[in-house]
Amino acid sequence: LPTYPFQHQRHWLNPAGSSDTARSGRGPTAHPLLTAMVDLPDGATVHTGLLDPRTQPWLDDHAIDGTVLLPGTAITELLWAAGDGATVAELTLHAPVLLPESGAARVRVVVGAPGADGAREVVVHAAADGREWTHHATAVLAPRATTTADPAPWPVPDAAWPPPGAEPVVIDGLYSRLAEHGLEYGPTFRNVRAVWRDGRHTYAEVALPEGTRDSRYGLHPALLDAALHPPALERDESGPVLVPFSFTGATLYAAGATELRVRLTAIDAETVAVAVADTNGAAIAVVDELRLRPAAKPDPAGQGALFVLDWTPIDTLAAPPTNARYDIIGEDGEDGNDRLVAALEGAGSTTRTWPDAAAFAHALSSGATAPDAVLVPRLGTGHDDVGAAVSAELLDHLRTLRWWLTDERTADIPLVVVTASAVATEPEHPADLVHAPSWGMSRSAQAEHPGRITLIDLAAGALHDAAAAVGFALAAHEPQIAVREGRVLIPRLARAASSAPGPAPFDAERTVIVTGASGGLAGHVAQHLVTRHGVRHLLLLSRTRATALADRLTTLGARPVVVACDVADAGQLAAALREIPAEHPLGAVVHTAGILGDATLTGLTDEQVAAVLRAKVSGTLNLHEQTADLAAFILFSSAAGVFGGAGQANYAAANTFLDAFAGHRRAAGLPATALAWGLWDEETGTTAHLTGADRDRLEHSGLRPLDTAAGLALFDAALTATHPVVLPLSPDLRRFEKSEVPPLLRALV
């Protein structure tokens, strides 16, 4: 093999554009990426184009861990083009734009109408061919004079170059070092020619290779990206390589440069100021502040996405099996049990009833014939004290499952949990609050003991379907089904429908409650509310005062009130709410509080169940009862309730209650959204205990951890979700062969 890099030169003909933008109502543009625009009556504009390596080969030269993605500098270029000379006052990159292995990705930049100060909000979306649109970036464009002086203070024409006193830096190995960290740059991006350093400043020369120069760009993304490569030379080899995350005050002064002089000024460990000039020292562009973050492995699903639990019809109920023999665990006369017995026997089944699992097991030891299945009904209704009923129901269910799974005599007998309206197959019909948590606990039991437990949910008042439903589930080996109007439904994850961007439900003059405020996740969210959504008044509640978070928010211009409060204690919560100033009434609740009490189901104690339910169930009920006139009621739930977290039966049950409660509030016309989070990459109060083996096991289930930026972007996306329960997840579907895909993920493959 030759010792020099391979030359990349295409000999394929580039496809000619075929769309007639004029006839479609769009105006053509000269930009190579944004090729059409539409002016809207209110002064907003919509810019569209294609990210196609066949017409822009340089796009193939930027990859992380083998996945080709659009550099963040290209988003800046799109904004400069759409803004027609405006400064990019703020730009935050929420998720990378992944380019498909074949074909092109569509890109759409929507520039809002100017406000009184001339500023315009911008959102950037992209979609591969045949895929849904993904929100990748938000920005604010401002008239140039409002942020950065013109001309730029550096560089100045005829300045000495390189600057006196700057020491040269060896650049050999720069791109091999970046490649070791997964940043794979092709020839179009390997543009650093020389580097010098002088105290806080790093200077560089960068130039586009011949054959890639295109005067239609304001500042070619590959050239500006290369200007940001030199800091990699300063970092320890074991440390992370940093990539752009957000831009502040990015102004383009002159277009078409192909060679640059660069000055990078360190502001802090992860922030630099950028100034670039041409070879004569004339200003080309500046970025007042460029925030960097460690390069993360790209997520082919789009740095996570919002999903919903979709109940998909697969069949209609047939006639029930004849002469089936079912035993029922539960006292005669218990609410619903007699009706279930009557329905089964009316369909030709034979039944026996036992007061508990121990009585059934004793009967087996005494010579009783084993049935075709044992049914555990959870059918009671009409509870006045929901919190107490949930606790009593779950503890009884735990005792049944615990006995069943530890007794060897039951190992070969199917256990079927039968509920009525315990799952919401449609958002407008919320789940029963008392029985929904039994599904969360049972899903965890299924995860720990595959093949031993089946879950069946019937519509309220439709116990006549019970015999046919049990027969279908056992014959089809479906672990979870629901039956509605004779149709058999199975749960599958589906991408949440895209909702039109709307205003966030936060008012700068109203107070936002954040519970669990001493936790790491709550800290990120609270800071995000301040920096992204302009929240200024927060009531931070946690069992220990979150003073460190309050201090951090104060430096950001917020006015937090900190109260040590257990939200599960109604009296403590009432006292805390009185701390809200009258001039800044309560506007929103973000309930993140929760604790863990992990144990396998057979070792789980009643005390562990009660402790976990306290923050989730009692805390949620108290917040609901003691607040009103809210714009948002956001519940931090967990995907464990949907997937069934092994070793987390109590936690899964508690979070399934939150999901059901969000549905009840929505049905009552009140705001509510439950976010059933997957694992976050950063350690939080509920993940700090996980070992490396635990995390590997969770990733093997097909769910990758979300990094903090991706999680906060999904939080924002969920604010306008139409479904009351969304799952912010990052599934890794490439991990599975077809036969290994868990049932919940099969519709995504």
Residue 401, token pair as written in the block: 């499952």
Measured CA to CA, the distance from residue 423 to residue 436 in angstroms comes to 6
Measured CA to CA, the distance from residue 407 to residue 733 in angstroms comes to 36
pLDDT digits (tens, 9 = 90+) for 636-647: 999 999 999 888
Query: Is the same domain home to 391 and 457?
Result: yes
Task: Give the torsion through C-alpha atoms of 93, 94, 100, 103, to 10 deg.
Answer: -60
Residue 720, token pair as written in the block: 């306008």
Residue 288, token pair as written in the block: 């007042």
Last residue of a domain, one of 294, 319, 340: 294
Query: Is the same domain home to 210 and 338?
Result: no
Say what the pLDDT of residue 297 is: 52
pLDDT digits (tens, 9 = 90+) for 426-442: 988 999 999 999 999 99
Measured CA to CA, the distance from residue 224 to residue 219 in angstroms comes to 7
Say what the pLDDT of residue 142 is: 94
pLDDT band at 358 (very low <50, low <70, confident <90, very high): confident
Length of the chain: 749
Q: Where are the beta strands (DSSP E) in 13-111?
A: 27-28, 36-39, 45-51, 62-64, 67-68, 87-93, 105-111
How many CB atoms neighbour CB 478 within 10 A? 18
- Within a domain: 570: yes
pLDDT digits (tens, 9 = 90+) for 63-93: 887 788 899 999 999 999 999 889 999 998 8
Query: Is the same domain home to 277 and 334?
Result: no
**Global pTM value:** 0.64
- Within a domain: 243: yes
Say what the pLDDT of residue 436 is: 96
Query: Is the same domain home to 135 and 212?
Result: no
pLDDT digits (tens, 9 = 90+) for 242-251: 778 789 999 9
Domains: count for the chain: 4
Which residue did the predictor score with more confidence, 155 or 280? 280
Which residue did the predictor score with more confidence, 3 or 623? 623
- Within a domain: 442: yes
pLDDT band at 333 (very low <50, low <70, confident <90, very high): low
- Within a domain: 6: no
Task: Give the torsion through C-alpha atoms of 464, 467, 469, 470, to 10 deg.
Answer: 150
Query: Is the same domain home to 486 and 522?
Result: no
Last residue of a domain, one of 146, 175, 193: 146
Beta bridge partners of 197: 167, 202
Residue 679, token pair as written in the block: 């694992």
Mean pLDDT of all residues in 115-130? 87
Residue 372, token pair as written in the block: 């075709």
Residue 668, token pair as written in the block: 């009552």
Query: Is the same domain home to 490 and 508?
Result: no
Residue 550, helix vs strand vs coil: helix
Query: Is the same domain home to 290 and 202?
Result: yes
Q: CB of 284 within 8 A of CB of 254?
A: yes
Half-sphere exposure of 493 (CA within 13 A, CB side): 25
Nearest-5° Cα angle at 653, 746 to 680:
65
pLDDT digits (tens, 9 = 90+) for 252-307: 999 999 999 999 999 887 789 999 999 988 999 999 999 887 665 554 444 678 99
Mean pLDDT of all residues in 128-151? 72
- Within a domain: 300: no
Residue 268: domain span: 167-294
